[in-house]
Structure 1
């Protein structure tokens, strides 16, 4: 683990140039968090950064004014929004518009950038500047209290870099000395999420059957102290069926081939980012399943997908079907729905496409049975 700020800065510059490593990879390599990696560059002056070319890097710590900062990003124009978790990355190019609050949740609902922002988990924010050849890459990066990345906004060549400078002037924190105190991540086990002594399966099943809106599912899990994996395993095949891991690639490839519009959610405890529309280019490269479209990129690390489920949730608009992709803890890597607006039933083409994924499961089970015999 790097011991000093200068060590981190030197290692960052070296690993970026020599190994072409990404921020997250560098942080893992140095056994620090991404927030600590970025924060190590706080206090570097623009002049010092320029003198360190070709790998200029400096960070400006921002005030904890989350709704105002997100509102200010609208001035940047077209940007790339990135939200990720350990095994999934969601990137969208667009503008931040139609920004609002619903309780303590921030909403961005422009034509292309669609976000749900859970500000209670936000703790740190920075503008990060990094030299890349003859260009300067700017981003605004948000982190939780454990130093994990929540959401990032990358300026593009045609973005308003002047607005980014204005953000620094208006929202720079008074403390620009490197060094932060972080909390340890919670290590709650799966067994701690549910108390079997007070669990009423019939009541749980009845509440599932009487869901009115897909958003009510979060309340259902909370009421019965379950995570998604536990809920799916308990409810039975009428509402949730396991699928093989390769069903994810099959679904995305079929949706692209048949032009079936989808909604793809990737998130973490502080943000959820949504793509709505058709997908076109699906590639499997070195253990990553990718959607590589002009204004939308998705990256899923296939080797760390633990469970894939076909899930059916009753609503006032009819049954809403989804593919839910989980990690080994039962946490969501990604959710995939058919494109749908509230008040409308889901597309039959989407439902048929998703239901066809069961055929891959049936084939897999038949092959395993034949092998065992």
Structure 2
């Protein structure tokens, strides 16, 4: 009988700062997310370090006193990796590594590493490799001694592991080659999209880990990989879905995240084309997450960057089965009621009320309110379809739940 192999997690520490633009609450939220990213990449967070600063130290990101505190902890606890919550400049990374004498990653490098782990297809791997090389190029000085000392583990997948003598010219040539390869695949995918005919296209968008893939599995009866980790889905999955007798195309796209590396936005252009070319967006939100409003803002920001913010959108508030609010003791006059204390019904009376029937509340995993969801999607797809093909609207009568 084979013994079950235990997963070995890397011991890591997280480092963030508190500034006037990023207060203590916001800093904690970012570090919570960074810890989840670290876990997804295969790391175990032993300790977090934060420092209040007006702005990051240009040489070492944090102050010398705090840096010494981190160094002593790393040495005493045999920690192999320090992860910073913001992107480090090449000189900062070099200086920090010289002081801490361990593997140094920043948020961008960590996200790139997760993408490298999760890329399944040749196209996704090519996209990630391009983003990694673009991140690597300005960091070549000193990078190779770092790679000589540290082999394998988080942040070490992908380019640069085998050839220490790689220089800027070779990396630039590689970037050029990868861009040409991606451009060729993009052209093929554009042809594929054009061959889908005039069917209405619907795209699932949202923050990472909000349940898009689970929802897709429910309504398309497909088997898209879904997991409670960040960036479970990298490759865009497109399925033909039929609600009643109305067919349309549904695509599940890569999840967004705060501080998404620009290299990834660039290299995943074709994946995001599914969003650009969609007729309808289903913006899925994890309403059980305490900062879901920030997640909505982050997604809307990226939609704006890819010129898709004005598309017809249905807000799908998922995970109502997990929603919990903090109750307030009525006798407790000290506690001021905040959004953290809202019930689901109270949330529905806020700005969500203004979206009307474009705000849906479901549980994809428990299939709660899924019929209402399907009816609303059907109505919107039918409206778009009739606008496009006014002569055959009689083929699609009003939705009847018993026929769905």
Q: TM (normalized to structure 1)?
A: 0.29
Q: Using CA pairs below 8 Å that are at least 6 residues apart, which structure has the higher relative contact order?
A: 1
Bigger Cα Rg: 2
Task: Looking at secondary structure, tell me which structure has more strand per residue.
Answer: 1
Q: TM (normalized to structure 2)?
A: 0.27
